[in-house]
Amino acid sequence: MQTEFVISAGEQPKRLDVFLVHREPKLSRAALQRMITAGWVRVNDQTAKSSQRIKAGDVIAFDTPQAAPLRLNGQTTRLEILFEDRACLVLNKPAGIVVHPAPGHWSNTLLNALLDHCVRLGEAATPSLVHRLDKDTSGVMVIAKTAEAHRGLAVQFECHSITRLYEALVWGVPAQEEGRIEFAIGPDRQNPKRTSMRTLKPKAAVTEYQVAEPVGAVAARILLRPHTGRTHQIRTHLQAIGHPILGDRDYGGGRVGAIDGYEIPRVMLHARTLGFTHPITDAYCEFTVAAPPDFDATYHLLHLGASCEGKASCYSESPEIC
């Protein structure tokens, strides 16, 4: 839902985010700043910055977040739950599902399904997110079910004490078998919906990687350990070293969309392992899930193609010809 209003003549000039905090008290300043950065807020039909000074006569328009419905229009989304108690829930998120309601995705999100799940269990809990995975990313996520659990988990993510291991299929093979990527990143100057090193608000970001297996010369399966949790950190860091994730057209362009005629079905990134201290019991918990079938299928097809270089195409319906 879009909200639009005109700044009255009596309004004193002030920062856009400060003005909106008083205008929309249900939204925190941090949330409003994220909305502004994402381009959801416009001043005089132009994207704006949080620090922009508003003045009388300005027209402000923004997409107002809507409450997620407790039911998915009468439909239940199957959740692969790995662990659950009254404090938190751990699940294996499938690729292709948006985690949180946002403009264009107010329903059929993971949070909608979680709310529906709690209602069906007869629980009064309100699940809340402490971290996110992109729509195309699969893998382990932890969800808080109480305010106390949310605080406990959020602190761990904030101080980077969470254990996280990802795996990805990337374009090309890194020259070094393992390495550490340390590039500060933030919203891109030209496109705030993207993350890059060309930013006015750089934040330190560290990702370690290890090549698990090259796939000929065209690709590699690699393991990644992010030590910070910036938006699109892994995707941005891999692009920066010249090895974007296969299927990630936003950060790798058309070259990563298909290999030797094989169309990559999605961004080939999987959150394999997540470890944390339980926010109530203080017990260490760690969960690992294998990559989903589409990830493995892409890997095997690429591997098959690499092993058949110089022979008849192995992407035919009869790969045994190789």
Query: What's the chain look like in SS3?
Result: CEEEEECCCCCCCEEHHHHHHHHCCCCCHHHHHHHHHCCCEEECCEECCCCCEECCCCEEEEECCCCCCCCECCECCCCCEEEECCCEEEEEECCCCCCCCECCECCCCHHHHHHHHHHHCCCCCCCEECCCCCCCCEEEEEEECCHHHHHHHHHHHHCCCCEEEEEEEEECCCCCCEEEEECCEEEECCCCCCEECCECCCECCEEEEEEEEEECCCEEEEEEEECCCCCCHHHHHHHHCCCCECCCHHHHCHHHCEECCEECCCCCEEEEEEEEECCCCCCEEEEECCCCHHHHHHHHHHHHHHHCCCCCCCCCCCHHHC
Of the two residues 70 and 177, the one the predictor is more confident about is 177
Q: Is residue 69 part of a domain?
A: no
In a domain, 71, yes or no: no
Rounded to whole angstroms, the Cα distance separating 60 from 29 reads 16
For residues 58 and 89, membership in a common domain is answered with no
- Residues 201-240: pLDDT tens digits? 899 999 999 999 999 889 999 999 999 999 999 999 999 9
Contacts 24+ apart (CB under 8 A), 297-302: 298/169, 298/246, 298/247, 298/262, 298/264, 298/265, 298/268, 299/169, 299/215, 299/221, 301/262, 302/169, 302/215, 302/216, 302/218, 302/219, 302/259, 302/262
- If asked whether residues 8 and 111 sit together in one domain, one would say no
Mean residue pLDDT of the chain comes to 85
Phi and psi (nearest 5°) for 43? -115, 120
* Cα separation, 278 vs 294, whole angstroms: 31
Written as six digits, the tokens of 145 are: 């079910």
Same structural domain for residues 85 and 35?
no
Instruction: With respect to residue 171, please indicate whether it lies within any of the assigned structural domains.
Output: yes
Are 40 and 108 in a shared domain? no
Residues 58 and 99 in one domain: no
Q: Which two tokens stand for residue 26?
A: 């249900």
Q: Which two tokens stand for residue 136?
A: 């195309």
Q: What is the CATH number of the domain that holds 49?
A: 3.10.290.10
Residue 31: predicted pLDDT: 74
d(CA 203, CA 197): 9
Shared-domain flag, residues 25 and 127: no
State the Cα–Cα distance between residues 299 and 249, nearest whole angstrom: 18
Residue 313 pLDDT grade (very low, low, confident, very high; cuts 50, 70, 90): very low
CATH at residue 170 = 3.30.2350.10
Indicate if 110 and 162 belong to the same structural domain.
yes
Top pLDDT among 73 and 15 is at 15
Per-residue pLDDT reduced to its tens digit, 241-290: 999 999 999 999 999 999 878 899 999 999 999 999 999 999 999 999 99
Q: Any idea which residues carry the catalytic annotation?
A: 134
In a domain, 321, yes or no: no
Q: How confident is the model at residue 10 (pLDDT cuts 50, 70, 90)?
A: confident
Query: What single letter denotes the amino acid at residue 160?
Result: H
Residue 74 lies in a domain: no
Nearest C-alpha neighbor of 182 from the set 138, 241, 104: 241
* 216 shares a domain with 267: yes
Count of CB atoms situated within 10 Å of the CB of 173: 17
Co-location of 240 and 93 in the same domain: yes
Same domain, yes or no, for 189 and 140? Answer: yes
Residue-range definition of the domain harbouring residue 236:
81-307
Q: Do 240 and 303 have their domain in common?
A: yes
16 and 125 assigned to the same domain: no
Number of domains composing the chain? 2
What's the CA gap between 163 and 156, in Å, rounded?
10
Q: Residue 72: inside a domain, yes or no?
A: no
Q: What digits encode the pLDDT tens for the residues 24-48?
A: 766 777 777 877 877 788 888 888 8
Domain for residue 57, yes or no?
Answer: yes
Query: Could you tell me if residue 320 is inside a domain?
Result: no
